[in-house]
Structure 1
Amino acid sequence: MGISGKYYSTGCSVSSGLLPICFCFSFIICFSNSIDIISHTQYIKDPESIVSAGSQFRLGFFSPTNSTDRYVGIWYNNIPEFTVVWVANRQEPLNDSSGTVMIDSNGNLVVLNGRKKVIWSTNVSNTAKSSIAQLSNSGNLILKNGNNNETVWESFLHPSDTFLPTMRLGTALKTGEKQLLTSWEDDSLPLIGRYSASIVPLDIPQIFIWNGSSPHWRSGPWNNRIFIGVPDMHSVYLDGFNLEANPKEGSAYLTFSYVSKPDFMRFVLNSQGKLVEYRWNKRKNDWFVHWSVPNTECDVYGKCGPFGSCNAADSPICSCLKGFTPKSTEEWSMGNWSSGCERRTQLQCQRNSSNGEKEKADGFLALKMMKVPDFADWSAADHEKQCKEQCLNNCSCIAYAFDDNIGCMSWSRNLIDLQKFSNGGVDLYIRLAHSELGAGRNDPKAITTTVVLVVVVVIGTTIMAVFIYFLLRWMATQRGNLLIMILKDIFWSGKKKKKRVLLGEASKELSDIDMLEDRIKQGKSIDLPFFYLEELAIATNNFDAANKLGVGGFGSVYKGKLWGGQEIAVKKLSKSSGQGLEEFKNEVVLISKLQHRNLVRLLGCCTHGEEKMLIYEYMANKSLDALLFDPAKRTLLDWKKRFHIIEGVGRGLLYLHRDSRLKIIHRDLKASNILLDKEMNPKISDFGMARIFGGSQDEENTKRVVGTYGYMSPEYAMEGRFSEKSDVFSYGVLLLEIVSGRRNSSFYLHPDPSNLLGHAWKLWNEEKIWELIDPILGERSSQVEILRCIHVGLLCVQEFAKDRPTMSNIVSMLSCEISTLPAPKQPGFIERQISSDGDSSQNNRSVCSLNSISITMTEGR
């Protein structure tokens, strides 16, 4: 809740022994012993405060705008705008400046007024007198048992109006536990307001905002990637959001984290019932609204009543579904739509024919891009057809919808809170009597519409024919007879080919993609365009050498431009390539299901005889190795760009391992498979070797070891065992290459121990690790961050998989969310003698406490 108002400076009543003792000379400042605790002997009195170890948050006393009442709260410490994120004594403010926050004799954290009366308490029973309360750098106030350091209470489980990264919102029906956001009474009064928000853990979890006890807004079902009733929510939200649901326990919890790394970000339920996402604008030193709901009248729950559909682009906004009519015509004419609509014609399965004639069966009407109704029932189904059959065979089922990531949703009660979107949503199928499905054919309005459509089609066809005629004449002079032959084949042949064919729906006439059928039958249809060879030949000027972007063991990559002007990269697999049919099929089927800003986007594929091609988005800066290992071009990669690449690749791997619908092990991560767009954003490419893991699968064995020596983990190269930790090893090698600007030129069992990993390990043990840093990286202010990256890289390349961190931990380490790093153990593929001179366990270094490392500036020679 942003508050620009009165607050007091704070002073800390602590001994000098608790002064900060170490600093991070990087973008993030870390304190190892900050004044961040309240204990039985150490308390704060108004206007004193405590600050989290990383100086991110402060806890103390404040007064809202235009008020003299005093509250105990938590707010951002290092931004100029005073912004409260949590309040303790919301319902009982202090009326003077005599308040105290302390640990009482029972071990609870309490707020006392001037008469020593408890006005707020953590109120837990399993505490001890030695309890301490600590403010973490995430903004969480944690009460710990001093005897065993066990957490007995935390503010993140008792939120106010603000949802912060790593906080949890949710409900457990079995225990009655709830984490709700509750609005302030108004923008300057922290009293609990009338709006609340949380997760409802039904068969398919949803977010609800309530106005008192009545629903105010609904997100629609969670499909393991997004809430499908939020049209502007895309897969990029996977960078942060995660929902854990346990239907048996009746629980569901939503969290989000700083994987995408905005400096400050929070969600606030304001006093008007809006859930608002705020982000901090560094340049303007102010918060800006990035997203909010509800935004229109149609977002309000049940605006158009049962069987009514809302469309904010229409006037009036409410209308009855086809086959339904307003319950109260008078109320609808006055703009009061809450009474909703009722069915015009009873369903065939719900009545008996009085004259003995067999009535025609009910059918379904498809409504596109809809927010599905509330109260969905879930059932397992592999495809939409199966979902339809289940609904058709159940007379009480009046609508259904299918989503790949959810399964089959069906409805047997009134359809409420329907909304038509201009983008997003899913297809909803409503059950109607057969006569209603054909209704409107004799309607004068429908006839007029049909006539208009026919006229438009005729005129459009005539214009298109004239355009094609003149286009052919122009192309004949520009491109020659080859293009004429192609266009004739497309527009006039009787084969009825489509220029683009969705692989899952391809005609049997397209024999070029028959070889993918076995793969496709194992999954669902793949919405991936199919390109013709002639189309790609035109785009690349017959694969002219001047358009060649690069060449590898798989074949060559060419730059091309489609007719619409879109630039593409065509990866043409050589007939002698080691990347054969299996890898080609694997990449087509797998990457078409993945969407992330740090994964390269596959636009389509092409097969023609023995030719196999993949079409990608064009990346202006080519691959990372083309810049990193080129003496002339590497100067383009300053440390800021390199760290951006390190983080981006880390986020991409985290998505593959944890956040994507499929758990993916890449198996061939290396510098040449990291592509860079024009803004130097990194994108992981080449999924030909990737493998899909089941939900509970952690490891797999293969007899066919594929990949690139020097990037392969020991257990994979020697035993064929691969897992997430195999990718972590490759990421560690890549990270050390980026920092040092040198290739890891070692090979499996190479006799020379001084490869990049061995060299880094030797320097680490000799406490000369800064010598590994690329000499062109002369940014003195970034040296601590660079050293931290080397430390993380060494943790990634440890010999044994169990010792390596997960990608989730790695991302947290790089962002300094995990401030103290463990000592790395010996990397794989180096001789053990390197570490014989010293015990590596003594080198437990953290970038935030560089115990024995002095910072030396590396200058170019």
Structure 2
Amino acid sequence: MIQRAMGFATYYSLMLFLVLLPLLAIAQTTNNGRIDVNASLIAADNTSYWLSPSKEFAFGFHRPENEDRFLLSIWFEQIPEKTVVWWSYEKETEFSVLVEAGSKVVLTTSGLVLRDPQGEERWRSVLNTGQVDYAVMEDTGNMVLVGPNSDQVLWRSFDNPSDTLLPTQEMGFQGQLFSRKKENDFSLGKFQLHLFDNGTLTINVINLPTRYIHGGPYYSSDDNNPNASNSGVGLIFDKSGDVYMLRKNGDKSPIGSGSKLPIQSSDYYQRVTLDVDGVFAQYYYPKKSNGNWSTAWLQPINICSWTSPIGSGACGFNSICSINDKTGRPNCECAPGFFLIDPNDPYGGCIRDDELNYCQKDAFELETRKNINWPLADYERYGVSYTEIECKDSCRDDCMCVVAIYNADGSCFKKRLPLSNGRYGSDDRSVSFVKVRKGGRTSPSIPDDEVPNLDKDKKERIFSVTGSILLGTSVFVNLIRLFREIVPIYGGIPPLISLSQYGISCVNQTKSV
């Protein structure tokens, strides 16, 4: 009888452990944010992480949306979005380090070391000197590695930013931020914020993967500082929420303009981020209630007005950039007859929707658009004596011509692929003629054998969810029945699992066997 009871108890304990397993994935509490050497985290869903003392920031593994792999990151822990503010990346390439489930980061005396399940090193916090005694996840969102001397800082996440700065964070000479490729894709984007040794802060479009800068910057701190002798010495984000360039003489040149932070800025989470659309903006979020990130200011005011002789411009090739009057953000849409290369990436550029023969006149027509232009993409120009009809006919008869632009002064410009620096402007009085397939635009076709059966998919999902619910319910009911049988037999809850450590209290029933 006792042997039978022990068998039931072991089985029950194991099953109860499996039921409670998701509850085990909780934050690892630390002593004032302190992490000791040999502490580790494992990449998995609902895994543990290291918290700051205020529990406002967390350090651990984040799995981006629609991604099977994990990213070692720091994020805002107390808001539903869990907004990521830092992630691990390769120093030389700036590429994010995505790792498989089961990968492990360990705090060693030589720094944080990230290894994949096969034991291969994928990333480490490079130290210039010294050995790590412990680490601290600070309330500022800064992960700090400390040497034997408590004031000896060996490495900081604040010195290795990704796309975001936080209050109390500063950026010195050669400091950089890089945008993400997409909101949930932490690959290197095409926008770069850089503080040069001459004290100039710029935001540029770069070529991937070489990071070659296309043309001049679309934002420069020197635009507001004509005195070169009073150049900048650092980009400062102070604890009150002000973001500015600190000058040699102590002057503070604000980066943002427009809206201001709420008066009680300490009641809000704050960040400044170089976003996927190339805009550098300051955000705030209420600490005491759920809400959304609100924009305090952004730079530049109109990124669409920037042009470069090399590259695609603010949006991708064959796109049109326009500014949203309410948000100040750029909208990127495809030129007539084109569609997005990646439907989930409006900034990634567009391609033609079909194989249009620009020489076959009966296959295309010229669509007329106003106030749209693609500056610097010209290969031919006609003088001011041209008429609008002549400009249009000239493009129709030219196999190389994709777009013709007719200006109010009578000039005509012809453009070939790819179209670059596309933009819309209400003050642009030009007329565009774009070659498109006759009869209207077409969408990329999907072979019949690749078209999903929506009704079938819905049914399968319903049956799958229903089956999971029924299975989960039956397992739970069986556990309850087993619980009622075992507790009287065993004389209480089996000792394999202590429920009190999970905050669950039970009244033991005792009965002699």
* Shorter-normalised TM range: 0.3 to 0.5
Normalising by structure 1, we get a TM-score of 0.28
In the superposition, the TM-score normalised over structure 2's length comes to 0.46
Between structure 1 and structure 2, the one with the greater Rg is 1
Greater relative contact order structure (CA < 8 Å, 6+ sep)? 2
